[in-house]
Amino acid sequence: MKTIIIAALALFTTCMIDYAEDTTLQPVPYVQGLNTLKDGDSIRLAEVLASTPRFAVGDIVTVKGSYTLSSQPSARLGFLCTGTKGGGRGPTLTPTTQRMTVRQGEGKFEITQTIKHHGCLHLTFYDETTGMPLGGFYFGTKEQVEEIETLDKMQINRINGEQAGPGYPPQGVGSPDP
């Protein structure tokens, strides 16, 4: 009986150590993708911390950085994940830990989320009254950023009824800095 209890405690301890390692946030590399910020507005990442570098379902991700908001008196800064599987839909409720109100001018942010569905992360300013996006950018692994940019091109094509070509993205939609 004593052997069983010791074995059970050893297994429990090993599982708890593995769990603790999985939730430890470490700096991770990322690729920045499509940028739709308006002139004068900016969001700058200083650090991206995550439980794994995959930005996968279940990962905990914290972003730290600064912003400049000049296009509006105030906005909500959201740290969200646009779904790319299952019709591109994910949970619609955004926990308060994934957004914050920002005022015109400059400031700093730190926002955390647990990824709930397959997709691509983004930081976006939203109008406080209408909830409509004011501009932002996607980031993640190279594959995630390429996937969301492909989906974005297809959506623009459906709206415009045309094929994406050398002129993509259309003027005013935004593009990553070279």
Distance, CA of 123 to CA of 99 (rounded, Å) = 9
SS3 178: coil
- Reported pTM: 0.72
The ranges assigned to domains in the chain are: 25-160
Confidence at residue 33, expressed as pLDDT on a 0 to 100 scale:
93
Tens digit of each residue's pLDDT (9 = 90 or more) over 90-100: 444 567 779 99
Confidence at residue 121, expressed as pLDDT on a 0 to 100 scale:
95
Q: What is the CATH number of domain 25-160?
A: 2.60.40
Tens digit of each residue's pLDDT (9 = 90 or more) over 148-177: 888 776 665 554 444 433 433 333 333 333
Tens digit of each residue's pLDDT (9 = 90 or more) over 13-40: 444 434 444 569 999 999 999 899 999 9
Residues 6+ positions from 62 with CB-CB distance below 8 Å: 25, 48, 49, 50, 110, 111, 112
SS3 2: helix
